[in-house]
Amino acid sequence: MSVATEEHLTRDAAGGLNWQPAAETMPREHLLALQVERLRATLENAYENVPFYRKKMDELGVEPGDVTGLDAVASLPFTTKIDLRDHYPFGMFARPRDQVVRVHASSGTTGNPTTVGYTRADIDTWGDLIARTLAAGGVAPGDLLQNAYGYGLFTGGLGLHFGAERLGCTVVPISGGNTERQLKIMRDFGATALSCTPSYAMYLADAARDRGLRPEDLPVRVGFHGAEPWTNELRTQIESGLGEHALDIYGLSEMGGPGVAFECLCKGGMHINEDHYLAEVIDPETLRPLPFGEIGELVFTTLTREAQPLLRYRTRDLCTLIDEPCACGRTSVRMSKPIGRSDDMLIIRGVNVFPSQIEEVLMSIPAIEPHYQIVVDRKGYLDVIEVWVEVGEDLFAETMGDLERFQKGVQAQIYNVLNIQVAVKLKEPKTIQRSEGKAVRVVDRRTVL
């Protein structure tokens, strides 16, 4: 394990730092050769140790040794969230459980969550990738990171935490929420870097302003904001509100969490850590790979993960890949900000929510009619969900007190499944709009900020 020292760090041309300069600025032909070598090792690991992949590869007639170039990727099997769920909890692991030192899980899947396992080496690699991310924003040993991503099964909290420690920063594991305390700690401890979702960053900026604090009263210099979609317009507002550089950070639990891609101070798309993740953009209908610059679904193959190699994992995120060189000097391909998803997943305050999860709860309650609508909106900068449900005549004839108890009960049941608060609104029979075609179950009034 390498020790964080200043020697790792070199200046990049955008005013940030390279944590692993040799890897981050590797000539492309070397990078492509490294990818081929690592792809072959990944296929061996998957084939030898994960029965699911052995079966898939046997069916397709692919052998790890066949892979001599990156063109071979197109002949490999895809992996989806459903595959992971079908092998819950540890069936996709390529290592015995006693070699897996950490397990995280993704939020918001119906039924079983998708689990992700890490060996000691996987945790170290992850730390390096987050250290790259933070360094690209100019963070160095001696900086103090206020980490307001949630700690727990979600990968945001611990992911940023370990990476910051690896870089040699002081980490404050404050986790999300409690705005008053966030602002106090930020100033008292002198936080120079902040990590949290972009919506929470904006919330903090507003809260600071409401308390008469000016951006120059806040010590934060740079923020790392991701886990949900956001725009450059929101970036401008966060930057002026908090007086920081607001940088984007992308990842997903299945790929190990944040650190798959990150922005440098050029703010022109996120550098993909291509020495660890092989990226493709495909047409979600035909599944054919698309050229650089075309919008499609992002697909990743892990290149170094020991505990859980994944081949051609379909992220469902829609974006483009950018191959023009970046002024910072990194040689990696960048991804644009994701512009949407090819499935119906909603991201509410950083938590992944599938409408079907809400439907399952509602449909298990007999007094609720099969007519409902999920209304997603944004109050200030935070997402809010209202669930409108039609109840039967009998229930509507009850007293106000009974109705209120019922409504609270439904809210609590939804909370148990999603772990986020929703407001349930009971509607009179036959008042929710019926549709002649597909039912409109989700009304998303948010525009991406």
| Residues that bind ligand DLL in the complex, under the rule CB under 6 A | 106-107, 149, 155-156, 226-229, 248-253, 257-258, 315, 317, 337-338, 341, 347, 352
Residues 6+ apart with CB under 8 A from 139: 17, 145, 164, 167, 169, 192, 193, 222
Spell out a b/e string for 218-238, using b for 16 or more CB atoms within 10 Å of the CB, else e. bbbbbbbbbbbbbeeebbebb
**Whole-number minimum distance, CB 434 to ligand DLL, in Å?**
31
Residues 6+ apart with CB under 8 A from 408: none
**Whole-number minimum distance, CB 197 to ligand DLL, in Å?**
8
Length of the chain as a residue count: 449
CB-count exposure of residue 346 (10 Å: 0-12, 13-18, 19+): buried
**Whole-number minimum distance, CB 160 to ligand DLL, in Å?**
7
**Whole-number minimum distance, CB 225 to ligand DLL, in Å?**
7
**Whole-number minimum distance, CB 3 to ligand DLL, in Å?**
25
| Residue with smaller CB distance to ligand DLL, 275 or 317 | 317
3-state secondary structure of 274: coil
Q: Which residue, judged by CB position, is nearest to ligand DLL in the bound state?
A: 226
Phi and psi for 220 in degrees, rounded to 5?
-65, 130
CA–CA dist 228, 396 (Å, integer): 38
The first and second tokens of residue 59, run together, are 């069916």
Residue ranges of alpha helices (H) inside 330-399 are 355-363, 393-396
3-state secondary structure of 440: coil
**Whole-number minimum distance, CB 230 to ligand DLL, in Å?**
6
| Residue with smaller CB distance to ligand DLL, 155 or 199 | 155
**Whole-number minimum distance, CB 228 to ligand DLL, in Å?**
5
| Residue with smaller CB distance to ligand DLL, 187 or 341 | 341
Residues 6+ apart with CB under 8 A from 391: 367, 368, 369, 406, 426, 427, 428, 429
